[in-house]
Amino acid sequence: MTIERILPRLKKNRRAAQLIEEALLLSVALVALSLLVGGVDSILKQASGLTSNIWTSISSSLNDLFSSAFHW
C-alpha cells in the first residue's frame, strides 16, 4: 500500500522536474542569445567607426588636395 502512495508522488515530481529543466534550458538559451546579439552589436559599432574614420581621412585628403589647387 505504501508503494502505491509513493509512486504517484514520484510521477508528479518527475513532471515538475521536467518543467524546471525546460525553464532552465530556456533561460540559458536566452542568455546565450543576448550575448550573441551584444557581440554582433559591438562588431557593427566598431566597423561603423572604422568606416567613418576612413571616410573622414579620404575626405580630408581630397579637401587638402583640391583646396590647394583651387582657391575658393
Distances (CA, A) of 67 to 7, 53, 70: 89, 21, 5
Q: What is the pTM (predicted TM-score) of this model?
A: 0.56
- Indicate whether 63 pLDDT > 80: yes
What are residue 4's phi and psi, to 5 degrees? -65, -30
CA angle 39, 45, 36 (to 5 degrees): 15
Per residue in 1-42, pLDDT (tens digit) is 566 666 666 555 667 788 899 999 999 999 999 999 999 999
Question: Alpha-carbon distance 68 to 40, whole Å?
Answer: 42
Continuous segment of H or E residues that includes residue 35: helix 2-69
Q: Which three cell numbers stand for residue 8?
A: 504517484
